[in-house]
Amino acid sequence: MSRANTLSFVLRAKNRLKVMDALSKGKKISSQIEKETGMYRAHVSRTIKELQSHDLIVCINPEDRAFKFYSLSKKGKLILAEALKLLKP
């Protein structure tokens, strides 16, 4: 997927941008993302899966079933920076 397509993918859904923005402040578990963004658990879970499928976020400890920590990937940091730059008035 091209950089422009990935950027478009992120900008098409507010939840994707919210989750990425929350992760820009450091690694978090899904319940922390829920609190910070005000999103429902199901929406956070689905958004995490979508972002992982595009290599925008990574799970730091995939073997742990209870407390999985997520963070932005290098690609995710670049795409988030571009998205925020485009959204500035």
pTM above 0.85, yes or no: yes
User: What amino acid is encoded at 10 in this protein?
Assistant: V
* Angle between the N-to-C axes of helices 3-11 and 14-23, in degrees from 0 to 180, rounded to the nearest 10: 100
Q: For residue 79, give Cα distances in angstroms to 7, 21, 53, 61.
A: 6, 11, 14, 23
What are the pLDDT digits (tens) for 7-62?
999 999 999 999 999 999 999 999 999 999 999 999 999 999 999 999 999 999 99
Full set of structural domains in the chain with CATH: 3-82 (1.10.10.10)
Where does the pLDDT of residue 65 fall: very low under 50, low under 70, confident under 90, or very high at 90 and above? Answer: confident
